[in-house]
């Protein structure tokens, strides 16, 4: 078919227009990185999970606190001890039930109203009214406000009440502001922190300086917090200078910022433990302590954390992570990596490979274990597969069963596993008491349903009960260390590793620090560098 020049011309013209249009769109409003060197505006790249700023909904209070809006009566230091914050001091009466908190008298809410004990009382009552989780922290007989004194009488002794009240759920809001029409969910609550919400969506939060802040000068006029869920994109935004700091840069990207004189990496072990619960009910293979010991000894945990996970996790051994001061270094792990010992123990337990298939067996039954994992945390399947490979070397056949996050809890309670992995917060309130109770306190007729693994040791129960009502800090610490040592001796669980968390910041700002309690990201201390 012959085509005229005209056709050619019109087609070409069409293409030219196309190209031009694409180029034009492509050039629309180029602007090289916004945040560079601005001493009035701080920009922070995060991942946000909250759709509203109502602190009593789901876990949204974490965001209110992380963004520098909310503050609690007590604040955790770097060893997770509760220190005075909005309360300047507290004391416990001899009945071990009555706590008196002295509220600072120089604190104002961001709307200028003074922070009184009555305001704190209303805020605490509001949490109880709106969130079921409240009572897992403590239950109260009465709350009384006298001037700047807040008196809380608990139903049961709560040794760590200041720590419980340092959880973000208990950040103090001005309840009267809500009555006057402030929509906490959409506009953000009225709190006492250095910054106040100006606008909020899940994707971006803009904060402004709290003009009534009580604790010194607030360094920035404005803080912008875009939520950048993709870790690669977050790293790029930091590299380009679009954000001044970013929370949790991924393993693959952190190398870009280490040994780079433009950035500062602050990295610490978090409060989490990657734990594989071990089912030791009588009808399970791992009820035999020798097999448990052998299994744990076969796992090269140093390798998993340092090589496989590129050092983004710390090698696991004890139940409570080393970020907390509960004797991590003095605990003795009897089941350190030792393949020889693992083989010997399995032989002793009567598991031998009689049919030569590489898997040990006993009474015609192969040594096969179900390892339940969920995928929503990327490291968990990696751990499981690494354990599987190591177990194979000593003749244990591990079957990795991948399930949805939402059924992990149920499978744990029902004991539908030989091993079940989770990445668990051990001390959200500064103290591992609930964690140590929840998985290992004896479950007698459903007294502790979360212990679905059948672990039961009267000595542990006695120590846990003592811990639950002990108020003396040193004695508590000692008990926690002893309990951990028994767990290790009993092979009560496989403690695989502890994740590191990080904040990476441009050197144009200072004091961007990651705390073990993952609640304090944007603080009054973050300032432009001089």
Partner 1 sequence: MGRKELLHRLGQMLVTLIGVTILTFGLTYIAPGDAVDAILETGDTLVSAEVVEQTRHELGLDQPFHIQYLNWLTGLLHGDMGISYSAKMPVVDRMLLGAPGTLALTGIAIVMMLVVSVPAGIAAAVYRNSFIDYLSRVLSFLGVSMPSFWVGLLMLYIFGLKLGMFPISGGEVDLRHMVLPAATLSVVMISKFTRQVRTAVLEELGKDYVTGAQARGIPMNKILWHHVLPNACLPLVTLLGTYIGWLLGGVAVVEMVFAWPGLGFMAVRAIMTRDFPLLMGFVLWIAIAYMVINLIVDASYYILNPRLKKRGGE
What is the secondary structure of 21-58 as a DSSP string?
HHHHHHHTT----S-TT-SSEEEEEB----SS--TTST
> Which residue among 160, 434, 505, 506 contacts partner 1 (CB under 8 A)?
434
Residue among 152, 172, 177, 243 that touches partner 1 (CB under 8 A):
243
Residue 447 found at the interface with partner 1 (CB under 8 A)? no
- CB-wise, 369 or 427, nearer to partner 1? 427
Q: Is 116 or 443 the residue whose CB approaches partner 1 more closely?
A: 443
408, 460, 464, 526: residue in contact with partner 1 (rule CB under 8 A): 408
Name residues contacting partner 1, limited to 372-391 (CB under 8 A): 374, 376-377
**Rg value, the chain, Cα:** 27
| 445 touches partner 1 (CB under 8 A) | no
> Considering the rule CB under 8 A, would residue 250 count as an interface residue with partner 1?
no
Binding partner 1 (rule: CB under 8 A), the pick from 77, 230, 465, 472 is 230
Query: In whole angstroms, what is the distance from residue 503 CA to residue 488 CA?
Result: 32
Query: CA triplet 71, 517, 481: central angle to 5 degrees?
Result: 130
Residues 270-299 that bind partner 1 (CB under 8 A): 272
Cβ partners under 8 Å of residue 145, min gap 6? 116, 117, 118, 120, 121, 151
Q: Does 323 bind partner 1 (CB under 8 A)?
A: no
Sole binder of partner 1 in the list 41, 92, 145, 185 (CB under 8 A):
185
CB of 256 to partner 1, least distance (A): 11
| Measured distance CA(494)–CA(421) in Å, rounded | 9
Question: Strands 368-374, 245-247: parallel, antiparallel or unpaired by DSSP?
Answer: unpaired
Q: How far is CA 518 from the centre of its chain?
A: 6
Q: Among the candidate windows 110-118, 236-244, 289-297, 390-398, which touches partner 1 by CB under 8 A?
A: 236-244
Mark the segment that binds partner 1 (CB under 8 A) among 4-12, 74-82, 150-158, 357-365. 4-12
Of 14-73, binders to partner 1 (CB under 8 A) are 14-15, 17-18, 21-22, 25-34, 45, 51-52, 54, 57-60
Applying the rule CB under 8 A, the residues between 96 and 125 that interact with partner 1 are none
Would you count residue 183 as binding partner 1 (CB under 8 A)?
no
Residues 477 to 506: which contact partner 1 by CB under 8 A?
A: none
Which is nearer to partner 1, 3 or 129 (by Cβ)? 3
Beta strands in 216-367 (DSSP E): 222-226, 245-247, 263-269, 272-278, 313-315, 361-362, 365-366
Of residues 357, 519, 490, 499, the one with CA closest to residue 429: 519
529 binds partner 1 (CB under 8 A): no
Q: C-beta of 183: minimal distance to partner 1 in Å?
A: 11
CA distance readout (Å), 146 to 98, 119, 512: 14, 11, 38
Pick the closer one to partner 1 by CB: 348 or 409.
409
From the list 135, 125, 504, 80, the residue with the least C-alpha distance to 325 is 80
* Residue 237 engages partner 1 in binding (rule: CB under 8 A): yes
Q: Which residues contact 212 (CB under 8 A, 6 or more apart)?
A: 108, 109, 110, 111, 112
- How many chain residues are in contact with partner 1, going by CB under 8 A? 79
Does 181 contact partner 1 by CB under 8 A? no
Min. distance of Cβ 480 from partner 1 in angstroms?
15
How many other CB atoms sit within 10 Å of the CB of residue 251? 15
8-state DSSP, 516: S
Count the alpha carbons within 13 Å of 87 in the hemisphere toward its beta carbon. 30
Q: Does 252 bind partner 1 (CB under 8 A)?
A: no
């Amino acid at each position: 078919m012959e085509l005229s020049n005209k056709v050619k011309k019109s087609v070409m013209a069409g293409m030219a227009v196309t190209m031009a249009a694409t180029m034009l769109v492509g050039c629309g409003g180029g602007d090289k990185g916004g945040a560079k060197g601005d001493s009035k505006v701080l920009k922070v790249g995060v991942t946000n999970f909250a759709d509203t700023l109502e602190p009593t909904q789901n876990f949204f209070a974490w965001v209110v606190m992380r963004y520098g809006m909310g503050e609690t009566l007590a604040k955790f230091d770097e060893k997770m001890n509760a220190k005075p914050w909005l309360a300047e001091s507290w004391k416990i009466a001899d009945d071990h039930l009555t706590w008196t908190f002295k509220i600072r008298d120089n604190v104002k809410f961001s709307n200028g109203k003074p922070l009184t004990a009555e305001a704190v009382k209303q805020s605490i009552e509001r949490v109880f009214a709106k969130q079921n989780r409240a009572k897992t922290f403590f239950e109260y007989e009465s709350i009384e406000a006298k001037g700047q004194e807040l008196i809380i009488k608990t139903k049961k002794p709560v040794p760590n009440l200041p720590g419980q009240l340092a959880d973000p759920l208990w950040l103090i809001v001005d309840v009267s502001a809500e009555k006057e029409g402030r929509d906490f969910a959409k506009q953000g609550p009225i709190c006492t922190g250095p910054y106040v919400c100006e606008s909020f969506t899940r994707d971006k939060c803009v904060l402004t300086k709290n003009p009534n802040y009580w604790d010194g000068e607030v360094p920035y006029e404005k803080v912008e917090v875009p939520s950048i869920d993709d870790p690669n994109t977050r790293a790029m935004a930091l590299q380009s200078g679009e954000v001044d700091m970013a929370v949790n840069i991924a393993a693959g990207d952190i190398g870009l910022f280490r040994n780079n004189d433009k950035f500062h990496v602050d990295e610490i072990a978090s409060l989490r433990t990657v734990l594989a619960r071990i089912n030791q009910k009588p009808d399970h293979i791992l009820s035999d302590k020798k097999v448990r010991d052998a299994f744990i000894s076969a796992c090269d945990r140093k390798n998993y954390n340092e090589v496989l996970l590129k050092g983004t996790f710390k090698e696991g051994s004890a139940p409570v992570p080393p970020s907390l001061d509960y004797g991590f270094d003095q605990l003795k792990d009897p089941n350190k990596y030792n393949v020889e010992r693992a083989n010997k123990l399995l032989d002793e337990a009567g598991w031998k490979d009689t049919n030569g298939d590489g898997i040990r067996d006993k009474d015609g039954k192969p040594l096969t274990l179900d390892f339940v994992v969920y995928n929503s945390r990327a490291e968990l399947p990696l751990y499981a597969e690494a354990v599987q490979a190591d177990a194979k070397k000593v003749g244990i056949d591990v079957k990795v069963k991948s399930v949805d996050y939402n059924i992990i809890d149920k499978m744990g309670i029902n004991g539908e596993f030989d091993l079940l992995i989770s990445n668990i917060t051990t001390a959200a309130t500064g103290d591992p008491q609930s964690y140590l109770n929840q998985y290992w306190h004896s479950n007698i007729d459903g007294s502790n349903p979360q212990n679905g693994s059948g672990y039961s040791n009267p000595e542990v129960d006695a120590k846990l009960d003592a811990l639950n009502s002990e108020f003396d800090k040193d004695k508590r610490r000692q008990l926690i260390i002893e309990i951990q040592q028994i767990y290790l001796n009993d092979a009560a669980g496989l403690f695989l590793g502890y994740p590191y968390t990080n904040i990476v910041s441009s050197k144009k700002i200072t004091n961007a620090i990651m705390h073990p309690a993952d609640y304090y990201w944007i603080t009054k201390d973050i300032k432009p560098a001089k």
